[in-house]
Amino acid sequence: MYTLYYSPGACSLATQVVIHELGQAVEIIDKQQVSDFSVINPAGMVPVLVDNGKTLLEGAAVMLYLLNKHQNTMLPATGRGREQAIQNIMFANATMHPAYNRLFFIAQHITDEKTKQLAFDAAAQAITGLWEIVEQQLATQDFLGGDQPCAADIMLTVYSRWGASFPVKISLGQSTKKMLNVVQAMASFKRAIDAEQRQSAA
Ligand SMILES: N[C@@H](CCC(=O)N[C@@H](CS)C(=O)NCC(=O)O)C(=O)O
Protein backbone atom coordinates (compact mmCIF):
# COMPACT_ATOMS: atom_id res chain seq x y z
CA MET A 1 0.00 0.00 0.00
CA TYR A 2 1.21 3.48 -0.85
CA THR A 3 1.22 6.37 1.61
CA LEU A 4 0.50 9.78 0.11
CA TYR A 5 0.96 13.03 2.02
CA TYR A 6 -1.47 15.65 0.77
CA SER A 7 -3.04 19.06 1.36
CA PRO A 8 -6.78 19.31 0.65
CA GLY A 9 -7.41 20.25 -2.99
CA ALA A 10 -3.67 20.63 -3.71
CA CYS A 11 -1.71 19.07 -6.58
CA SER A 12 -1.45 15.89 -4.49
CA LEU A 13 -5.12 15.31 -5.40
CA ALA A 14 -3.96 14.44 -8.95
CA THR A 15 -1.47 11.92 -7.54
CA GLN A 16 -4.24 10.24 -5.58
CA VAL A 17 -6.55 10.13 -8.64
CA VAL A 18 -3.82 8.45 -10.71
CA ILE A 19 -3.14 5.91 -7.94
CA HIS A 20 -6.87 5.00 -8.05
CA GLU A 21 -6.76 4.81 -11.86
CA LEU A 22 -3.86 2.36 -11.52
CA GLY A 23 -5.93 0.21 -9.16
CA GLN A 24 -3.49 0.64 -6.25
CA ALA A 25 -4.27 0.98 -2.55
CA VAL A 26 -3.31 4.22 -0.84
CA GLU A 27 -3.43 5.66 2.65
CA ILE A 28 -3.59 9.45 2.60
CA ILE A 29 -2.19 11.70 5.35
CA ASP A 30 -2.89 15.42 5.58
CA LYS A 31 0.50 17.16 5.97
CA GLN A 32 -1.09 19.41 8.63
CA GLN A 33 -1.45 16.32 10.83
CA VAL A 34 2.31 15.71 10.78
CA SER A 35 4.17 17.36 13.68
CA ASP A 36 7.34 18.11 11.65
CA PHE A 37 6.61 17.67 7.96
CA SER A 38 10.04 19.11 7.03
CA VAL A 39 11.55 15.79 8.13
CA ILE A 40 9.48 14.13 5.37
CA ASN A 41 10.05 16.84 2.74
CA PRO A 42 12.53 19.63 3.58
CA ALA A 43 10.77 21.81 0.96
CA GLY A 44 7.55 21.44 2.97
CA MET A 45 5.53 20.50 -0.10
CA VAL A 46 3.10 17.86 -1.20
CA PRO A 47 2.81 15.43 -2.87
CA VAL A 48 5.08 13.05 -1.03
CA LEU A 49 4.70 9.37 -1.87
CA VAL A 50 6.04 6.59 0.32
CA ASP A 51 6.43 3.19 -1.33
CA ASN A 52 7.72 0.40 0.89
CA GLY A 53 9.85 2.73 3.00
CA LYS A 54 11.08 4.70 -0.03
CA THR A 55 10.15 8.40 -0.10
CA LEU A 56 9.50 10.08 -3.43
CA LEU A 57 9.24 13.86 -3.88
CA GLU A 58 8.22 16.22 -6.71
CA GLY A 59 4.84 15.81 -8.40
CA ALA A 60 6.07 15.01 -11.91
CA ALA A 61 8.69 12.54 -10.67
CA VAL A 62 6.08 10.82 -8.48
CA MET A 63 3.67 10.64 -11.42
CA LEU A 64 6.28 9.11 -13.72
CA TYR A 65 7.33 6.66 -10.98
CA LEU A 66 3.75 5.41 -10.65
CA LEU A 67 3.11 5.25 -14.40
CA ASN A 68 6.38 3.39 -15.01
CA LYS A 69 5.69 0.93 -12.20
CA HIS A 70 2.12 -0.12 -13.02
CA GLN A 71 0.67 -1.19 -16.34
CA ASN A 72 -1.50 1.51 -17.88
CA THR A 73 -2.45 3.23 -21.11
CA MET A 74 -1.67 6.75 -19.85
CA LEU A 75 2.10 6.42 -20.44
CA PRO A 76 2.91 4.41 -23.57
CA ALA A 77 5.99 2.18 -23.19
CA THR A 78 7.88 3.63 -26.17
CA GLY A 79 7.78 6.03 -29.07
CA ARG A 80 6.24 9.40 -29.80
CA GLY A 81 3.21 8.70 -27.59
CA ARG A 82 5.49 8.26 -24.57
CA GLU A 83 7.47 11.43 -25.36
CA GLN A 84 4.25 13.40 -25.75
CA ALA A 85 2.77 12.02 -22.50
CA ILE A 86 5.92 13.04 -20.57
CA GLN A 87 5.90 16.48 -22.23
CA ASN A 88 2.25 16.92 -21.21
CA ILE A 89 3.02 15.97 -17.58
CA MET A 90 5.91 18.47 -17.55
CA PHE A 91 3.75 21.20 -19.10
CA ALA A 92 1.19 20.65 -16.35
CA ASN A 93 3.67 20.41 -13.46
CA ALA A 94 6.38 22.85 -14.51
CA THR A 95 4.44 25.44 -16.54
CA MET A 96 0.75 25.55 -15.55
CA HIS A 97 1.23 24.74 -11.84
CA PRO A 98 3.80 27.56 -11.28
CA ALA A 99 1.54 29.99 -13.18
CA TYR A 100 -1.23 29.25 -10.63
CA ASN A 101 1.33 29.47 -7.77
CA ARG A 102 1.60 33.20 -8.51
CA LEU A 103 -2.02 33.63 -7.34
CA PHE A 104 -1.22 32.08 -3.96
CA PHE A 105 1.96 34.19 -3.68
CA ILE A 106 0.15 37.46 -4.51
CA ALA A 107 -2.67 36.69 -2.04
CA GLN A 108 -0.13 36.03 0.70
CA HIS A 109 2.48 38.73 0.13
CA ILE A 110 1.03 41.82 -1.56
CA THR A 111 -0.87 44.01 0.88
CA ASP A 112 -1.63 47.14 -1.18
CA GLU A 113 -5.06 46.39 -2.67
CA LYS A 114 -4.52 48.18 -6.00
CA THR A 115 -1.13 46.57 -6.58
CA LYS A 116 -2.57 43.24 -5.52
CA GLN A 117 -5.41 43.38 -8.08
CA LEU A 118 -2.97 44.45 -10.84
CA ALA A 119 -0.77 41.47 -10.00
CA PHE A 120 -3.78 39.12 -9.89
CA ASP A 121 -4.91 40.38 -13.32
CA ALA A 122 -1.44 39.88 -14.83
CA ALA A 123 -1.18 36.38 -13.35
CA ALA A 124 -4.68 35.47 -14.61
CA GLN A 125 -3.80 36.71 -18.09
CA ALA A 126 -0.71 34.48 -18.14
CA ILE A 127 -2.79 31.50 -16.97
CA THR A 128 -5.42 32.17 -19.64
CA GLY A 129 -2.63 32.17 -22.25
CA LEU A 130 -1.56 28.70 -21.10
CA TRP A 131 -5.16 27.41 -21.26
CA GLU A 132 -5.25 28.66 -24.89
CA ILE A 133 -2.35 26.29 -25.62
CA VAL A 134 -4.35 23.45 -24.04
CA GLU A 135 -7.40 24.45 -26.10
CA GLN A 136 -5.33 24.24 -29.30
CA GLN A 137 -4.15 20.74 -28.37
CA LEU A 138 -7.75 19.72 -27.73
CA ALA A 139 -8.87 20.90 -31.19
CA THR A 140 -8.18 17.46 -32.63
CA GLN A 141 -8.65 15.19 -29.60
CA ASP A 142 -10.85 15.12 -26.50
CA PHE A 143 -7.97 14.83 -23.99
CA LEU A 144 -4.25 15.53 -23.94
CA GLY A 145 -4.03 11.76 -23.69
CA GLY A 146 -5.99 11.31 -26.95
CA ASP A 147 -9.39 9.66 -26.56
CA GLN A 148 -8.89 8.90 -22.83
CA PRO A 149 -7.87 11.19 -19.95
CA CYS A 150 -4.16 10.91 -19.10
CA ALA A 151 -2.15 12.05 -16.07
CA ALA A 152 -1.70 15.57 -17.52
CA ASP A 153 -5.47 15.98 -18.01
CA ILE A 154 -5.97 15.00 -14.36
CA MET A 155 -3.22 17.37 -13.14
CA LEU A 156 -4.60 20.28 -15.17
CA THR A 157 -8.10 19.58 -13.87
CA VAL A 158 -6.88 19.82 -10.26
CA TYR A 159 -5.12 23.14 -10.95
CA SER A 160 -8.16 24.56 -12.80
CA ARG A 161 -10.14 24.41 -9.54
CA TRP A 162 -7.75 26.81 -7.75
CA GLY A 163 -8.79 29.91 -9.73
CA ALA A 164 -12.15 30.11 -7.94
CA SER A 165 -10.39 31.05 -4.68
CA PHE A 166 -9.10 34.36 -6.08
CA PRO A 167 -10.64 37.56 -7.54
CA VAL A 168 -9.54 36.72 -11.10
CA LYS A 169 -11.07 35.99 -14.47
CA ILE A 170 -9.43 33.00 -16.12
CA SER A 171 -10.95 32.18 -19.52
CA LEU A 172 -11.20 28.59 -20.70
CA GLY A 173 -12.08 27.36 -24.19
CA GLN A 174 -15.05 25.10 -24.88
CA SER A 175 -12.97 21.95 -25.50
CA THR A 176 -10.99 22.62 -22.31
CA LYS A 177 -14.19 23.01 -20.27
CA LYS A 178 -15.48 19.74 -21.70
CA MET A 179 -12.24 17.92 -20.81
CA LEU A 180 -12.27 19.34 -17.25
CA ASN A 181 -15.90 18.30 -16.73
CA VAL A 182 -15.27 14.75 -17.92
CA VAL A 183 -12.22 14.37 -15.65
CA GLN A 184 -14.09 15.74 -12.62
CA ALA A 185 -16.88 13.23 -13.28
CA MET A 186 -14.45 10.27 -13.25
CA ALA A 187 -15.10 7.83 -10.38
CA SER A 188 -11.43 8.03 -9.37
CA PHE A 189 -11.58 11.83 -9.14
CA LYS A 190 -14.72 11.79 -6.98
CA ARG A 191 -13.24 9.04 -4.81
CA ALA A 192 -10.07 11.06 -4.22
CA ILE A 193 -12.03 14.17 -3.19
CA ASP A 194 -14.26 12.08 -0.89
CA ALA A 195 -11.18 10.51 0.72
CA GLU A 196 -9.67 13.95 1.42
CA GLN A 197 -12.97 15.21 2.88
CA ARG A 198 -13.43 12.13 5.06
CA GLN A 199 -9.87 12.48 6.35
CA SER A 200 -10.39 16.18 7.19
CA ALA A 201 -13.65 15.42 9.00
CA ALA A 202 -12.07 12.61 11.07
N1 LIG B 1 7.69 21.34 -7.39
C2 LIG B 1 6.79 20.79 -6.41
C3 LIG B 1 5.70 21.82 -6.15
C4 LIG B 1 4.61 21.25 -5.29
C5 LIG B 1 3.74 22.33 -4.69
O6 LIG B 1 3.81 23.51 -5.04
N7 LIG B 1 2.88 21.89 -3.77
C8 LIG B 1 2.04 22.82 -3.06
C9 LIG B 1 0.58 22.37 -3.13
S10 LIG B 1 -0.08 22.38 -4.74
C11 LIG B 1 2.43 22.81 -1.61
O12 LIG B 1 2.77 21.78 -1.06
N13 LIG B 1 2.37 23.97 -0.96
C14 LIG B 1 2.60 24.07 0.45
C15 LIG B 1 1.43 23.66 1.26
O16 LIG B 1 0.37 23.27 0.73
O17 LIG B 1 1.54 23.71 2.48
C18 LIG B 1 6.17 19.51 -6.93
O19 LIG B 1 5.91 19.40 -8.13
O20 LIG B 1 5.97 18.58 -6.13
Identify the residue whose C-alpha is closest to ligand 1 atom 6.
45
Q: Is 46 in the pocket of ligand 1 (CB under 6 A)?
A: yes
Q: What is the pLDDT of residue 143?
A: 98
Q: Tell me how far the alpha carbon of residue 43 lies from the centroid of ligand 1, in angstroms.
A: 9
pLDDT averaged over every residue in the chain: 97
Q: What is the pLDDT of residue 202?
A: 80
State which CATH number among 3.40.50.2300, 1.20.1050.10, 3.20.20.80, 2.102.10.10 fits the domain covering 79-184: 1.20.1050.10
Identify the residue whose C-alpha is closest to ligand 1 atom 16.
7
Identify the residue whose C-alpha is closest to ligand 1 atom 17.
45
Q: What is the pLDDT of residue 201?
A: 84
Q: What is the pLDDT of residue 121?
A: 98
Contact 101, 130 (CB under 8 A): no
Structure-derived torsion over alpha carbons of residues 17, 151, 53, 9, reported in degrees to the nearest 10: -50
**What are the residue ranges in the chain where pLDDT is below 70?**
none
Spatial separation of the C-alpha atoms in residues 138 and 91, rounded to whole Å: 14
For 29, residues 6+ apart whose C-beta sits below 8 A from its C-beta are 3, 4, 5, 6, 199
Q: Which CATH superfamily is domain 2-72+187-201 in?
A: Glutaredoxin (3.40.30.10)
Q: Is 93 in the pocket of ligand 1 (CB under 6 A)?
A: yes
Q: Is 100 in the pocket of ligand 1 (CB under 6 A)?
A: no
Q: What is the pLDDT of residue 68?
A: 98
Q: Give the residue range(s) of CATH 3.40.30.10 domains in the chain.
A: 2-72+187-201
